[in-house]
Structure formats: structure tokens, C-alpha cells
Structure 1
């Protein structure tokens, strides 16, 4: 999702609830024929909220979305105080411990397990044709698409159960610190449901408003969502649309087809410790070499790279991030997240290519 929000850091550590058994239907039900969505009024927490009333007027002026209809929807939305509590939980700040504690090992172990890789193989095999079509259309490798969906929702198994209208109304009208951002997402959500003919009370997802296999925020569904299965709807709850949309997201953020993503670095001497590490750093190869850092593989002609540092407990592992690694961080601004996506996707690819996968038969 930013993007798909760098609120994934919340989703990872606060643990999202699981999705229903039929997410493609339960996550985003089509509106009944002729439905105005707001029938019967409602007595929710936002029925007479001044900010909600102003929002409804804006929707009418800006998009021709009848203000009464907007208020009828918002009047039925429910304030969820637990969402505000989750948003207010402090994030850990600072430079972290001065000695390695194995943080990367623990993070990586959340995603890259034998069982999870097997499930990724099943997803890849089931959607092989669509993954290859998305790769050919948008220039993004299948393993990156698979890695994103695997890290975000375990290939559709954990998409969230929070009603999106409740989440976005709560964060728009009862959470002043980020109200401007979430009001924009609420606007995009109502426009999306109107465009797609979806009952706005049906979509469910994360407590921050992210939805579907790829956990897109509403603005990104409207910007990057594609109808990849040909049913004339963009539905991130459908795996095929999600595959195309994730690929389109990366293309829109500048993915360079055929270029490497990240390369392991070899380090000699203490010089690496003097350089700042992070996906947003950028060092010439000469500067890196001067600090005793050299690539262990081809950089594909790149003249500079970011320095990435991973705490593996016994010390630090260094990698060199290239342009496409930075593009992955546009999905979520965490170095560990981007590396987990890269390594999970490639682990699935390797298992598919390494003989018969250890998995149940795909139906």
C-alpha cells in the first residue's frame, strides 16, 4: 500500500486478524441492484459529526456524490476506539542496541518458513499463467509479485476483518493526528465503491484501511488497481486482479526490468561500521571500496548502491541495495520488509525450480 502504507509495521507487530473462508465474496460484496447503500439512516457515531458533515459537502461539490447519501453512509459507520488505541501505540525509536541481537533472524522467521514457502509454491502453481502475463505486461518478475502477496497476507489467508468504512471514518473524524491523510483515503474509498458497484459496508481489511491480497489503501486501488481477470471490476480480493495490480504498482514506481535488486557484500576491516546504512543511502562503489565493502556479485552496471545492514545475532550481514530494492520500499518503508519480500519470493521460485515441491496437490 503510501503507499500501501508503511502502516505494515503496525500490521506486522500488532498482528492482523484472519480473513473469512471466501474472501473474494466476503471482502467486497457487490451492492444490490438499485441500492443507495444508506437505506434506513442510522444512528452510528458520526451521524451529526461536524467534520463528517463538511466531508459530505466536499464530496458533493468535488465529485457530485450526493451529500445526503454520504451522510447516510457515515451515519451507519461505527467509531472503533480500539483502532485509535492501536494507532497510538508508540513505535520503537532510536538506533537500537549497540550489539547485534538477531533482529533480522526473528523478522525473517515470521515469513520464510518451509510451510510458508510450500504455500507460496501452491499459489504460484495455481496462478502461473497470470503471474507470467503480469510479468510480461509490467516487467516485474513473478517472484517479486509472489513475495509481496506472501508477506502482506500469506497469499490471501490473512487479509483482516475490520470493516473498512468503520476504520476510515474513525481515523478521519476521531483521530486528529492523521485525519487529513485518512480523510483522503475515505474519499477514495467511497469513490472506489461507487465506481465498482460495491456496497461500502461490505469491504473488510486492516484497521488502517488496507484491503485485499496486496493490502492496498483505497487511493492506490484507484491509482494502480487493474482489472486483470477481465470481469470489468478492479477487486484486490480476487487473486488475479491483485497479481496485476501489484505488478502495476511497481511499474508505476519505476521498476527497471531485468536489473538486479540486491547483492550480497563482502566486508573486510571495520570501515563498514562508519557508514550509515539504510535503503535511502547512496554510496559510490569507490566510497564503499574505501570502507572495505565490495559486491559479491554483479551490480548490473550500477555505479552506486545503498548499504543495507542486517542484524544476524553473531554479527551483521551487509548487502548492497540497487534501484529495484528502493522500488520495493515504496510499498513499505522498512529495509527488513523489502528484504523479506525479495527472499521469500526467491525461496518460492527456488523450490519450484529445484525438483518436485513438498506440497499438497493443487486443485
Structure 2
């Protein structure tokens, strides 16, 4: 907690003005939600937020049924061949090329400092927010409050993120009532959850602020730092083409996306990289739903690092393939 703001919430919004501007909003009643009263007591004890302060903040919050609906039908549940069409596009690649060229110095510096491939940094920002064009239409407070109170399967996770969000707003001076993000509460150009924002965002332009909402330079450095902290290996592949023999590869597929067997061990299951690879390198057999049947790839530790950003193998593969397309377009037209 920032010692400059002990026990205060400097970003409490003007609740009545906010309510007037948002006719759908309805003030939350603490008495109706025991979980919210418990949360407020914990925030008071752990972080010095008074119940009065939090009640004022939550007057800005609304329970949003559409957030629950969105949570129950995430795009990642689509078959791979449909999911891919939304992200691995020529338009997104060309926008990625422009973003890369516009921020070439900062992207190069991120690669040198954290070892992450430039096309992966660019592709993540492209998949997440189309390079900042779509950073989310929900207020983060609405999203995290709704999911804490109305989404039992993951209520504990979102309760923690709500705690982290309020701490983040106190530390940064953000307006808790107005910060926009995804239906899950992810924020900014790289769509960091509040806990990741607090732990892994970096001030990459040296202006004294870690601004992921409006600063693409901080977003670039923070994406690279995130992947670095989750095990990205500089110069190593993320995925590879695979050749399958026999039927034992079915058992390798069952092991999931975390690389747990070496290339040498995978050979015992009839799984072989199409290109020569270090036999000691760990890999996972990744299966995807193609239009004409299963599609298989090898996923290495760097692929797994991308899944730490988003747990879906569809997401990670979209990042890899969009990154490859962006790099191809960069190489085809390097000077424009």
C-alpha cells in the first residue's frame, strides 16, 4: 500500500453525478449482500478502507446480468477454426506492422531487456485490444463486483481482484467509478487484471507512472515483463510443426498444454518435431479443432508462458500465429 495515502481513497468518484450520467446504475445496498459487508470489514482491517468510504464507492457499482452471460460464453469455447478467424487476420497483421514500426525502439528495448520476441509482444496487444482500439466497455468496478457477488464458481478469485483493484486505484489515483475494462475486469491496452497490474506493470518510459490505460510504451514493457516473469526463454521457439506415428500420441495429448515430456520422450509416443530440435527440450502435444479434423502442434515452454496470460490454448495459438503473420508482413515491407 502506498504510504502517501494511509487509510484514504483519493479516487472516490462523485457518485450522484455518475448515477445521473448512467441511468442503468443502481446503488448497491450493503444490507442485501453479506458478502459485501464481509469484504468491507476485511478491507478495513487489512488496508484501512473504512466502511463509509467503500459504501460511497459501491454506490457507483451495478450488478450487470450481461457480465454473467458473457462469462458463461467466452469466445475461447469456440472451435479453433472459428476462434482463429477473429484474430489471425490480414487487417490485424497490418495494424500490428504499423504499431511495431511506430514503437520500434521501445519494442526492441523490451526484447533486449526481457528477451521476448517483438512479434509476440505486438500480437498480444493486437489480440487483447486491437492495439488499443477496444479496451473494454464495462466499468471494472461493475465487472468485479458482479462476479464477486453473482458468479459462485469463481467468486473467490474475483473478490481478490476487487481487493487488488481498490488498492490499485488508491495507489495510482485512478477513478474507481470510471475505469473501463473487459467483462472480467481486465484493464488497459494489454488487458491486465488488477493483481497483474500491481505486480507486473512497469514504467517503461520512465515518466514515474505505470500507465497501462493510455500509454502504449508502458504496455509494451509490461507485456514483455509479464512473459519474462512467467518463464519466457529468449530465442527459443513457442510452437513447432509435428509428425505423428501410430496411435500412442493420444496419451501425450492427454497431458495438457504444460510441457512435461522431452522431445526424446515424446518420440516414444510417436510424436516427432518436423524440424530438428534439441532432444532435451520439453514440449506438449497441442490439439486444435480444424475445419477438417484435428490439427496438432508442438507447444514448448514459451507457448506455455503465453497461456499464463490467458489459460486458453486457442488464445495462445492465436497470439503465435498472428505474431508470425505480423513478422512476415514486416519482412515483406520493412521500410514503409
1:335 equivalent in structure 2: 313
Distance in 1 between residues matched to 2:285 and 2:279, nearest whole Å: 17
* Compared CA separation, residues 88 and 313, structure 1 to 2 (3 A): closer
Corresponding residue of 1:213 = 189
Any conservation in 2 of the 1:38–1:69 contact (CA below 8 Å)? no
Per-residue deviation at 1:195? 0.5
Query: Counterparts of 1:82 and 1:121 in 2: how far apart (Å)?
Result: 34
Alignment partner of 1:45 out of 1, 24, 28:
28
Q: 1:175 aligns with which of 151, 156, 160?
A: 151
Q: 1:47, CA displacement in angstroms?
A: 4.4
1:148 aligns with 2:105: no
Consecutive unaligned residues in structure 1, runs of 5 or more: 1-33, 97-102
Contact preservation (8 Å) 1:259, 1:300: no
Structure 2 distance, partners of 1:290, 1:250, is 31
Compare 122-131 and 299-308 and name the one that shifted more: 299-308
**How many Å separate the matches in 1 of 2:261 and 2:321?**
23
What do residues 296-327 of structure 1 show as CA deviations (whole Å, max 9, x unaligned)?
22434534321122333334433222111111
In structure 2, runs of 5+ residues without a counterpart are 1-8, 20-25
Structure whose residues are more often helix by fraction: 2
- Partner of 1:331, secondary structure, is coil
How far did 1:62 drift? 0.7
What displacement does 1:37 show? Answer: 1.4
Tell me by how many angstroms 1:250 deviates. 0.8
Greater mean deviation of Cα atoms: 318-327 or 287-296: 287-296
- In 2, the alpha carbon distance for the partners of 1:90 and 1:151 equals 14
CA drift at 1:162: 0.4
- In the other structure, the counterpart of 1:350 is 328
Cα drift, residue 161 of structure 1 = 0.9
**327-336 or 46-55: which moved more?**
46-55
**Hey, what does 2:238 align to over in structure 1?**
261
Q: Is the 8 A contact 1:260 1:299 kept in 2?
A: no
**Deviation of the 1:176 alpha carbon:** 3.3
Q: Report the alpha carbon displacement of residue 276 of structure 1 after superposing the two structures with TM.
A: 2.3
RMSD: 2.6
Q: TM-score, normalised by structure 2?
A: 0.85
| CA drift at 1:77 | 1.4
Tell me if the contact between 1:143 and 1:345 (Cα under 8 Å) persists in the aligned partners.
Answer: yes
Q: Does 1:58 align with 2:35?
A: no
- C-alpha distance in structure 2 between counterparts of 1:160 and 1:124, whole Å: 22
Contact kept, 8 Å, 1:149 with 1:214, in 2: the verdict is yes
Give the corresponding residue for 1:250: 227
Using a 3 Å threshold, how does the CA distance of structure 1 residues 187 and 125 change in structure 2: closer, same or farther?
same
Q: 1:162 aligns with which of 123, 138, 145?
A: 138
**Matches of 1:181 and 1:44 in 2, distance apart?**
23
Equivalent position of 2:175 in the other structure: 199
Distance in 1 separating the partners of 2:251 and 2:149: 45
Could you give the per-residue CA deviations for residues 247-302 of structure 1, whole angstroms, max 9, x where no partner exists? 11111111111222211112344443454254135334344334433212243453
Q: State whether structure 2 residue 295 is matched by structure 1 residue 312.
A: no
Distance 2:115 2:264 in 1: 31
Q: Is the 8 A contact 2:262 2:280 kept in 1?
A: no
Q: Which has the higher contact order (CA 8 A, sep 6+)?
A: 1
Contact 2:76 2:312 in 1 (8 A): no
